[in-house]
Structure 1
Amino acid sequence: MTDIPPERIAQLRAAHPLAFRAPLSVRLRRWALWAAFAALIVYCLIAFDASPERIWTGLGRLGRVLSFMFPPHIWETWYEWREILKGLGETLSMAFLGTLIGAVIAFPLSFLGAQNINRLLFFRLSVRRGYDIIRAFETLILALIFIRAFGLGPLPGILAIAVSEIGTFAKLFSEAIENTSKKPVEGVVASGGSGMQSIRFGVMPQVMPVILSIVLYNFESNVRSGTILGIVGAGGIGFLLSDRISAYRWDEAWSIIFLIIAMVYVIDWLSAQIRRRLIGKWDGAQ
């Protein structure tokens, strides 16, 4: 095929502009889609009363609230610091235990949903729909249910995170298992290995770095989720933050928010270090 220079294309476009336009039916569909999109935005703004006056008034109130947060409060006694540090520890523990329990339960379930492991179509699809059912429940809703069942405290938060993560981890793990190469598995089988040995020595070295990365990332996310769960009564630093906001102690609320940000930053840094070392170790072992 001969390349046409850009100058020649420009000349043809200027001489025959209609030849370079999309057909009328295509243009009408585009205009209809853009019109529907614009109408949806306008409807949402009207239905939610997002008027300029309301937004301007809300921004003024937000500015007053932010002004109450400065300067941040600094606790002066060990008793006050102990309460805050206990709340941070509870939130971190909820995220860690919930992530760990979810990963441990989801790991064997993920093999049942992987196409290259489970060849039974109906059984595999049923397991995958089970993943979807579990993931359909938001962590906050699960926390409210477990608070009704087990009472206030970190335990409902741990269970809510764990149940939610079972569906998420099982789906992501099974997809990672399906994306592994068949060559190591075929090599193990050709050497006389059993089915379990082919999974152990052919699949696991490939999938473990991905699984570790998924678990560490979700742990970071669950640290933030643990804060929200505390607001609804699952304990942790979120409960203390909600208490300070309800009492209009905005300077203390800002100090707690700053500590949450610092904790998330530290967890992110530690996760990156762990990910680099462990995943590098697995990659070197393959």
Structure 2
Amino acid sequence: MSQMTRPDTSELREKYPDLFDRPAAARLATPVMILAALAIFVFGLVDLDFSPGKLISGISQLGWITMMMIPPDLGASLPLYLKALGETLSIALLGTTLAAILALPVSLLAARNIIPTNLIRFPIRRFLDSIRGVDVLIWALVWINVVGLGPFAGVLAIMVSDFGAFGKLFSEAIEAADRKQVEGIRASGGSALHEIRFGLMPQVLPVIAGQVLYFIESNTRSASIIGIVGAGGIGLQLAEQIRVLEWQKVSFLVLMILVAVAAIDFISTKLRFAIIGKRAVA
């Protein structure tokens, strides 16, 4: 085998001058960004009063609390806890379902292939961004002051928070849909509504269903958190037991939440595969 000839550096320099003679700004950009990130990181540690001593003492305190939580004990409160868990699941299910129903028509107006002009699409997208930018816990505090304590405020908080997220996700799924089916319906004389109903929706509905199922699982955890601030559900019971230092009951409530989330994840996975299977057969 003949030895490969070594390329001439001068010829390569003449052919690709940008690679050999990069400006100083381009060469220093990456090191400067790394140094800036490290400086921000160090400043954050100092500004937030990060202390290794506090961390070590906190870990030992966490270990003590963990030992106090073993073994889990429900006492005589199982019916009350099951009712609270049912409230949490209802909050997650109702809030997510209402958000999906309300977000679907709005997502059509936010999709580029449905509304090509920015005059309508831009304010709708910014409206969805503003809603999505507020955390569900903040929405829970807002709705508690509007409608009072209880699960109704939790449903409204999850509904509003997920409305912004679903609007973005649904519109992106609609924009990613294949245009061939839409063009086929248009060529056969179908109207714009026919294009959406028979060209876009059959493609995006399985994707939307998968997203909704995932959010139901995720919102089960969110409903537990917003219950701590007074939105009902098992989070309210969890906050009360933490307040009175009943750590064994706290661990039992945490286990109930974990089992519920695992069960919902199992069911939603089965449903997603069933939806995907039906789509493949179709």
- TM-score, with length taken from structure 1: 0.88
Q: Deviations over 1:252-280 (max 9, x none)?
A: 10111111111100000000011111232
CA separation in 1, counterparts of 2:127 and 2:25?
43
Aligned position for 2:79: 82
Between 127-136 and 217-226, the greater mean CA deviation after superposition: 127-136
For 1:174 and 1:279, the matched residues in 2 are separated by 20
CA positional deviation for 1:23: 7.1
Q: Alpha-carbon deviation of 1:21?
A: 11
Query: What secondary structure is seen at the aligned counterpart in 2 of 1:234?
Result: coil
Identical aligned residues as a percent: 44
> What's 1:49 paired with?
49
SS at match of 2:230: helix
Q: 1:62 to 1:190 in 2, by over 3 A?
A: same
**C-alpha contact 1:209 1:283 (8 A) present in aligned 2:** no
Q: 1:183 is matched by which residue type in structure 2? A: K
Report matched runs for 1:162-177 at 5 Å.
162-177=159-174
* Consecutive unaligned residues in structure 1, runs of 5 or more: 13-18
Q: What's the counterpart of residue 16 of structure 2? A: none
Alignment CA distance shift 1:264-1:8 (3 Å): farther
Correspondence 1:183-194 to 2 at 5 A: 183-194=180-191
Structure 2 partner of 1:67: 67
In the TM superposition, residue 138 of structure 1 has moved relative to its aligned partner by: 1.3
* Residue 36 of structure 2 corresponds to residue 36 of structure 1: yes
Question: Shift of residue 225 of structure 1?
Answer: 0.3
Pair 1:36–1:284, CA change in 2 (3 A): same
Runs of 5+ unmatched residues, structure 2? 10-18
Query: Deviations 1:183-240 (Å, cap 9, x if unpaired)?
Result: 1111112222222112111111111111111111111111110000100000101110
Structure 1 equivalent of residue 272 of structure 2? 275
1:25 Cα deviation after fit: 4.7
Deviation at 1:31, TM superposition (A): 2.8
Q: Which residue of 2 aligns with 1:222?
A: 219
Aligned pair in 2 of structure 1 residues 45, 120: CA closer, same or farther (>3 Å)?
Answer: closer
- The alpha carbon displacement at 1:26 in A equals 4.3
Are 1:200 and 2:197 matched, yes or no? Answer: yes
TM score, norm. by length of structure 2: 0.89
Whole-Å Cα distance in 2 between the matches of residues 179 and 246 of structure 1?
Answer: 49
Aligned partner of 1:15 in structure 2 is none
Are the counterparts in 2 of residues 208 and 282 from structure 1 also a CA contact under 8 Å? no
CA distance in 1, matches of 2:268, 2:136: 22
